[in-house]
Every structure is written in C-alpha cells, then in structure tokens.
Amino acid sequence: MTMRAAVAGASGYAGGELLRLLLAHPEIEIGTLTGNSNAGRRLGELQPHLLPLADRVLTETTAEALRGHDVVFLALPHGQSAEVAEQLGPEVLVVDMGADFRLKNPADWERFYGSPHAGTWPYGLPELPGARAALEGSKRIAVPGCYPTAASLALFPAYAAGLAEAEAVIVAASGTSGAGKAPKAHLLGSEVMGSMTPYGVGGVHRHTPEMIQNLSAAAGEPVTVSFTPTLAPMPRGILATCSAKAGPGVTAESVRAAYEKAFADEPFVHLLPEGQWPATASVYGSNAVQVQVAYDAAAHRIIAVSAIDNLTKGTAGGAVQSMNLALGLPEDLGLSTIGVAP
C-alpha cells in the first residue's frame, strides 16, 4: 500500500536530496512540502533538478500542514524539529534529519548545541550493532550526522571485534553541501575552490559526541575521539580517514577478518578488495559506502577509510533506508548503489 510522505525543509539541500530519492521510491507518494523563507514559492525555482515536482508550492512549516501523512521527514536546522515533532501523533512515522534526537546524554547536547535536550530516538544507522532491531517498527527515527555516518562505519568493526584501543583519531574532508544552502562567509566560491582548510578543530565540532556515542557502544567501553573536519572544494562527498592504536596481538589478517565479517551481509557497505581505496567520486549520488582498512605494523595502528555521499548515505539515503526498516519494507527499496562517473 502506497504511503504519503510530507517533507519539511523541502527547499534545502537535505530536503532536495530526499525528494530525489522519494520520487524513485515505489511505495511513497509525495505529499505536503514546506519551507521557511521560501514558503509560497514553486519548488521548480528552488530545486530545478526535481522536474516532476516543479509546480509544487511550498507551504509554511507548521504541524497542521504536516498532519495527515503516514511519514513526516524533518529536514530543518538544529533545534527546529522538536517543537513540530511533539505536535505530530504517535501513529505518524517522524524521521528527523537534524540533530535534535541523536544524542543520548543531555549534557553532551547542551554543551555542543547550547539548548535544552529534546530527547533520544532510535538512531538511523542500521549497520551499527543492534541498530536494526531498534528501527524495525519504530515511529521515530533520528538520522545521524554525515561525518558520524562516515566515521562510525569506518571504525566500528575494529571496536566491535575488540581490536582497537579506545582512542580514535578521525580526519574527514567534506564537500560544501554539508554546510547547507544558506550563504556562509567561509563558503564563498572564490575561497573554497582550489583550496582545503580545516574547521571546528580541537574537539569542538558538534559531531564529536555522536562519534563517541557510536564507537563507545561498539567497544563496550568509553572511546575518546579526536575529530578534525576539513572543507573540500567539491559539492558532495565525505572521505573519512580514521585510525586507532591496535590492541595486543592484532595482525593484518585479524583486522581484515573483522571487517569482512562486519560487512558481509550489508547491502550498502562495500569493503573494497585489498589495495583499492575509497573515493568520493565512486559514491556520488548513491547510498553506497566504500570502506578499506589496513594495519600499519610499524606504527601498530589500524587505518580505516570510508567514502560516502554526505547528502545520500550521509542524510537522505540513510533516512530512506531507516524509513524502510521502520515500515517493514525491504531495506534497500528505492535506494541505489549505482554512482555517477566520471
């Protein structure tokens, strides 16, 4: 039976990518689309790549506008989801693509987001140990941040298998769409093109506690994370280079075996053949994740690298994958692992 889905934040990057995927989803009919400053405008002016929806007009983001749907996606800035979500009934599947319900520890939320914590919902990264069971049949989903998706998929197998010491170092480069559509001084085209620079350095990026939450759960003990994000001159993609000191007795073979086991049945995560390394271009526009791992014997470290499309697996694809699980549909329905090249 086809279900109707509303999208709040349809004028943004995350909302636009979600609509691109929902248009190809056989069980979803697209209902109300909302915006904020762009309410009243045609979607065709704002998302010209979504031709079948070009004549849809955005309404204001209110609970009234979003009611009457089977699924409501919230692709809104941080802190804007909770107020809308609490006005939607418990029978509606609400998928929050913002950060509001990702963190379990209220103190972490308050420290990194500077507002009261709204709560914690089942976390939409099905590949993590135990995550699928929490998502199946759920009426609330918190879609992960894009960097935590990339970093957690790269490192959790090492922690789940007890191979890595509890201090992870993560350096990740993101395409500029990760910062959203609203104009920002550091995203001026002439400054971003042909240059790379880090930001949020020194443990202050708000995705740090999310990574700690995921890796600590996999390890069964607290893991510290040093995370450095970097802005890369490309519209989409994240390349996360992650490493941790290897535990006693770890070998290249034991590391490889742990990753093969973790991803053997995953529809979207591809552990690449040895010697081949992830590339953001290979996952452009697809829900696929490329992972590669190596054991650096001299430094006694495990090095794991992942590539995702921040807007697809990192946001909208992850949202659809989790929605499928919540609705009892095949997990990969409407999602592709086929990229665009060159």
Ligand X SMILES: CC(=O)N[C@@H](CCC(=O)OP(=O)(O)O)C(=O)O
Ligand Y SMILES: NC(=O)C1=CN([C@@H]2O[C@H](COP(=O)(O)OP(=O)(O)OC[C@H]3O[C@@H](n4cnc5c(N)ncnc54)[C@H](OP(=O)(O)O)[C@@H]3O)[C@@H](O)[C@H]2O)C=CC1
From ligand Y, ligand X, none, interface partner of 36 (C-beta below 5 to 8 A by class): ligand Y
146 binds ligand X per the rule CB under 6 A: yes
CA distances to 66, 99, 123, 331 from 25, in Å: 20, 25, 22, 12
16 binds ligand X per the rule CB under 6 A: no
Token reading at 131: 């995550």
**Total residues at the site for ligand X (CB under 6 A)?**
8
Given its phi and psi angles, is residue 224 left (phi above 0), alpha (psi -120 to 50 degrees) or beta? beta
Site string for ligand Y, 7-46 (x = CB under 6 A): --x-xxxxx-------------------xxxx--------
Listed ranges 61-69, 114-122, 172-180, 284-292: which one lies at the site for ligand X (CB under 6 A): 172-180
180 binds ligand Y per the rule CB under 6 A: yes
> Minimum Å distance from CB 12 to ligand Y?
2
Q: Which residue has the tokens 């009892």?
A: 328
Nearer Cβ to ligand X, position 13 or 159?
A: 13
> Minimum Å distance from CB 276 to ligand Y?
26
209 binds ligand X per the rule CB under 6 A: no
Q: Rule CB under 6 A: choose which of 124, 145, 209, 318 binds ligand X.
A: 145
> Minimum Å distance from CB 200 to ligand Y?
14
Nearest position to ligand X, beta carbon? 178
234 binds ligand X per the rule CB under 6 A: no
Catalytic residue status for 242: no
Nearest position to ligand Y, beta carbon? 12
**How far is the C-alpha of 83 from the C-alpha of 104, rounded, in Å?**
18
> Minimum Å distance from CB 146 to ligand X?
3
- Of 62, 48, 51, nearest to 24 by C-alpha is 51
Q: Rule CB under 6 A: choose which of 98, 278, 317, 334 binds ligand Y.
A: 98
From ligand X, ligand Y, none, interface partner of 204 (C-beta below 5 to 8 A by class): none
Nearer Cβ to ligand X, position 79 or 247?
A: 79
CA neighbours within 13 Å on the CB side: how many for 242? 34
Nearer Cβ to ligand X, position 59 or 310?
A: 310
314 binds ligand Y per the rule CB under 6 A: yes
Nearer Cβ to ligand Y, position 145 or 229?
A: 145
- Of 27, 31, 26, nearest to 6 by C-alpha is 31
- Positions 98 through 137 that interact with ligand X (CB under 6 A): 99
Nearer Cβ to ligand X, position 96 or 331?
A: 96
Nearer Cβ to ligand X, position 231 or 269?
A: 231
**How far is the C-alpha of 117 from the C-alpha of 100, rounded, in Å?**
7
From ligand Y, ligand X, none, interface partner of 229 (C-beta below 5 to 8 A by class): ligand X
* Active centre residues (catalytic): 146
Task: Point out which residues bind ligand X (CB under 6 A).
Answer: 99, 145-146, 174, 178-179, 229, 231
The binding site for ligand Y (CB under 6 A) comprises 9, 11-15, 35-38, 61, 75-78, 80, 97-99, 145-146, 177-178, 180-182, 310-311, 314-315
